[in-house]
Amino acid sequence: MTAFTYRKRVLHAEHVPLPAIAEAVGTPTYVYSSAALRSHFRAVTESFGEHPHLVCYSVKANSTLAVLRLLAEEGSGFDIVSGGELARVKAAGGAPNKTVFAGVGKTAEEMAAALAAGVLFFNVESPEELELLDAVGRAQGRRAPFAIRVNPNVDARTHRYIATGLKTSKFGVPFEEAVGLYSRARKMKGLEAVGLDCHIGSQITLTSPFKAALTKVGGLYQELKAQGHGLRYLDVGGGLGITYTEEKPPSTAEYARTILAAVGATGATLVFEPGRSVVGNAGVLLTRVLFRKKTPARQFVVVDAGMNDLMRPALYDAHHGLQPLVQRRGKAVDVDVVGPVCESTDVLARQRPLVLPRQGELYAFMSAGAYGMSMASTYNSRPRPAEVMVDGSAWRVVRERERVEDLWRGESP
């Protein structure tokens, strides 16, 4: 759904005018639509109908407690990649027994805490991790439930930094080694094989990579079952893209048809790990114009949001739409919208045609709900933004803006 629309030339989040939030809370501030979050989550889970499945929202996309609480209330499970994310899930009221622990670098302490909490299973990504998980399980006198993440060497046809299913990737184990690892695990008393996992990347806008990868993985799942492994879950990962500019990703219904055609006959309970497709277009970042600056080569607009607030343009050269909170008529000029961070990469929008912004005007970076606040930092000793949740005509601050004093909490001069 589209939660951010203009009414009488003023940009709204659901029924709330965004300038009212900016004036009350200040900028930069992230704003999320609860209606969009619910709609996007329900679209995923309902697309799979009666087929046994569990949607595990990918916490790394946006780990704000209010977002996690809303999704937990919708019945979501969670996909985590650290002990800190597990703690956030629990603090938000999420269920550990509907939580999958992924990631290539889990520590023994993280494994032990997750096993004691009762996570659904661990996605194991290397032989040495399998051995460590076995030791952790034996130390607790229990069998740690696991799935091995296989790397099918399929090109997701996305940005190279977010492709995870190629043989050059750090993620997963080579497809050809999986059978041997499951056989080894049978002899380990601290392990229980419950599933198989595959995740090939993020911001995928075609169904063909999903089909290619999961056709291979579905065959492997059936082979392992035939060998007597008691698998129940087939984790197909996430990665469904969203529209930032002109992308045309598959609908959730088309995505579901592709997945079910590839692996529906395995009989497995399917586990999905959507992140961006749930939160990406459910959030915006509000910012205020500080200065205009013209050089012989460029027209710059300096805003109070920087790369520490929204890392994706600097990290991936990612595009975020930029909309004025109050529309104004006039001739558009090409401008570079830059932040105050002392780095040349602090360019949030390059050569955008805008009616030349005035000092003090408010803008929104669109499609900023995923990998926005979760990647935010305090670089240049800049406090992180506030966060707001909108629900119909109501809104509330769900994370207060950091204070300068928070920047050195825990330090000693």
> Is 46 marked as binding a ligand?
no
> Is 276 marked as binding a ligand?
yes
* 125 and 235 housed in the same domain: yes
* 226 and 79 housed in the same domain: yes
CATH number of the domain at 169, please: 3.20.20.10
Instruction: Decide if 240 contacts 204 (C-beta within 8 A).
Output: yes
Average the pLDDT over each of 35-44, 62-71, 166-175, 261-270 and give the range with the smallest value: 166-175
State the pairing for strand pair 173-174/347-355.
unpaired
Confidence tier at 325 by pLDDT (50, 70, 90)? very high
Domain that holds residue 355: 4-32+280-408
Among 224, 243, 276, which residue terminates a domain? 276
- The span from the CA of 245 to the CA of 247, in Å, is 6
| pLDDT (average), residues 329-337 | 95
Among 256, 276, 296, which residue terminates a domain? 276
* 190 and 71 housed in the same domain: yes
Q: Which amino acid is at 203?
A: Q
Among 87, 171, 88, 94, smallest CA distance to 125 is for 171
Structural domain total, the chain: 2
342 is catalytic: yes
Catalytic-role residue among 342, 353, 381, 413? 342
* 308 and 269 housed in the same domain: no
Is the residue at 158 inside a domain?
A: yes
CATH number of the domain at 390, please: 2.40.37.10
Among 227, 256, 276, which residue terminates a domain? 276
* 108 and 221 housed in the same domain: yes
* 241 and 289 housed in the same domain: no
Tokens 């299913």 sit on residue: 165
Enter the pTM of the model.
0.94
> Is 125 marked as binding a ligand?
no
Is the residue at 312 inside a domain?
A: yes
Average the pLDDT over each of 14-23, 224-233, 253-262, 385-394 and give the range with the smallest value: 253-262
In tens, the pLDDT along 80-95 reads 999 999 999 999 999 9
Look at residue 165 in the predicted model and tell me its pLDDT.
46
* 200 and 68 housed in the same domain: yes
Among 146, 120, 150, 121, smallest CA distance to 215 is for 150
* pLDDT at residue 157 tops 90: no
* 146 and 157 housed in the same domain: yes
* 136 and 244 housed in the same domain: yes
* 204 and 116 housed in the same domain: yes
* 254 and 111 housed in the same domain: yes
> Is 19 marked as binding a ligand?
no
Is the residue at 82 inside a domain?
A: yes
> Is 32 marked as binding a ligand?
no
Look at residue 77 in the predicted model and tell me its pLDDT.
98
- The span from the CA of 313 to the CA of 33, in Å, is 22
Is the residue at 413 inside a domain?
A: no
